[in-house]
Structure 1
Amino acid sequence: MDGNGRWAAARGLPRVAGHREGAKAVRELIAGAIELGVKSLTIYSFSSENWSRPKDEVSGLMLLFVEVLERELANLEKLRVRVLVAGAIDELPDETADAFRRTIERTALNDVLTLVVALNYGGREEIANAVRSIAREVKAGDLDPSAITEHTVAEHLYVPEVPDPDLVIRTSGEMRVSNFLLWQIAYAEFYVTSVLWPDFDRHELLRAILDFQSRSRRFGGR
């Protein structure tokens, strides 16, 4: 979800205006994903590194999350979208964390699209958290170290029920991974577009998917 700030700056608007437009783009993306038969979608909404941004911007984002969740919940239920969170939700402001918990609970039985919100998320920390959890099981005698496999690690990630992504889309021309789903994107395809996130609509999503479908995936093989 790159480009909110640049979108706002190009129009002489405050950064929070870009984030608001970015939230509208998420609504459009969800509708487009459902139209195209996508079953799971992960959006990188706030990284664990984003706390270093100006305090007023972070505070505005936290309030915006609450506002958007309250406004969009009925639509999520209508579209049968299940919402999950990947990240350290307990470290968020109480109002924001509670809004996400309510949304997760209310949408738990929805089955058309699973929307994973990467929130206060860092890929390295996710892996470290999984390792700590596995270590506790080994220490308790519940897990034999020789039995640990890739599947064991995957089971201890934030949302193990969601399959690894096939496609990672980077908006605004960014050419880096940015600590995103480091374990899960091992064999994902990348699609980079210069389109800023607030302008990324269902037509851009279709363009990305058509590009993906034209590729021959090797999954590490030749």
Structure 2
Amino acid sequence: MWPKTLYARILGKRIRTDRLPSHVAIIPDGNRRWARRRGMPSSMGHYRGYKVAKQVLDRLWDLGINYVTFYALSRENCLRRPREELEAIYRLLSMAVDDLFADDRVRSGEVRVYFVGDFSLLPNWLREKIYSINEATMRNGPHVLSVATCYGGRWEIVATVNNIINSLAKGDNTAKWLEEDSFRKLMPLGQFPEPDLLIRTGGEIRLSGFLLYHVAYTELYFTKKLWPDFDEVELYRAILSYQSRERRFGR
């Protein structure tokens, strides 16, 4: 339940439970800027951002929003960020896997965890941890947490095409003729519903390669708040903004 004080802080409006997004995607931008402004190392911003991500995830699941996708690291991040910063983020991702394995909802089979991305860019020890939670929770539900790590929308499209080419070369003709929907289902993230709402923090107004194929009709919400300052009020604003829009899907 949302705290009663929240309604007064947001003009007395309430979220309509009959118009909730089923899938929320998030670009949690601004961790490094948040840390810099406080004279802290970037690792402290990422740590704070991880804590906020856990709180936001809990709120979304409390509302009954079953599909949540976080953009943890872009492929470009994994190729270009300083090694020291990446190592700190990798440790946080490792902590996240441990926390998820210990979470009662995961242990009871309520939550599926699905890391997706170009794992060839990750250190072996982290790659193995990611594979382990993906495999251990693959039959869980109804909640699904996707974590895009060393991910790029172009990478996902190219990886899908390469998989189809390899299948055809091996004599598997099941993907010989494709429609848009069947192509999407072959994509790493195509097994889940497309996002209804995408939230980006940090003031940037771009997608940065996130879910390029999947967000054709996604409602976008941009906020200047840095991710470590993102709170229940801003999440509430994002959902209210989504509910105020008429989704026409090209009609």
TM-score (norm 1): 0.92
- State the secondary structure of the residue aligned to 2:155: helix
Counterpart CA distance in 2 for 1:53 and 1:8 is: 16
Give the corresponding residue for 1:13. 40
C-alpha separation between the residues in 1 aligned to 2:175 and 2:147? Answer: 32
Cα distance in 1 for residues equivalent to 2:140 and 2:128: 20
C-alpha deviations, 1:17-70, integer Å up to 9, x for none? 000001101110110111111110100001100020111101111122112321
Contact 1:7 1:18 in 2 (8 A): yes
Return 200-209 or 34-43, whichever deviates more.
200-209
Q: 2:168–2:176: 8 Å Cα contact kept in structure 1?
A: no
Instruction: Name the counterpart of 1:65.
Output: 93
Most deviating of 107-116 and 138-147? 138-147
Q: How many residues were matched structurally?
A: 221
Contact 1:31 1:202 in 2 (8 A): no
Return the alpha-carbon distance in structure 2 between the equivalents of residues 201 and 93 of structure 1. 32
1:101-160: CA deviations, max 9, x gaps? Answer: 222233334324200000110100110111112222333443377721112321221132
**Paired amino acid for 1:164:** E
- Closer, same or farther: CA 5–188 of 1 in aligned 2, 3 Å: same
Distance 2:142 2:162 in 1: 33
Instruction: Measure the CA separation in 2 of the matches of 1:145 and 1:153.
Output: 8
Question: Are 1:86 and 2:86 an aligned pair?
Answer: no
Q: Secondary structure at the match of 1:206?
A: helix
AA partner of residue 24 (structure 1): K
Give 1:72 deviation, angstroms. 3.8
How many percent of aligned residue pairs carry the same amino acid?
39
Residue 32 of structure 1 pairs with residue 62 of structure 2: no
The verdict on how the C-alpha distance between 1:137 and 1:108 changes in structure 2, with shifts beyond 3 A counting, is closer
- SS in structure 1 at match of 2:87: helix
Task: Give the alignment partner of residue 55 of structure 1, picking from 65, 83, 105.
Answer: 83
- Answer yes or no: is 1:142 the counterpart of 2:169: no
- Aligned positions of 1:76-155 closer than 5 A: 76-77=105-106, 80-143=110-173, 147-155=177-185
- Residue of structure 2 in register with 1:179 after alignment: 209
Instruction: State how far apart, in whole Å, the 2-side matches of 1:63 and 1:220 are.
Output: 43
TM-score by length of 2: 0.82
Structure 1, 208-217 or 69-78: larger mean CA deviation: 69-78
In the alignment, which of 211, 215, 218 is matched to residue 241 of structure 2? 211
Aligned-pair CA distance for 1:177: 1.1
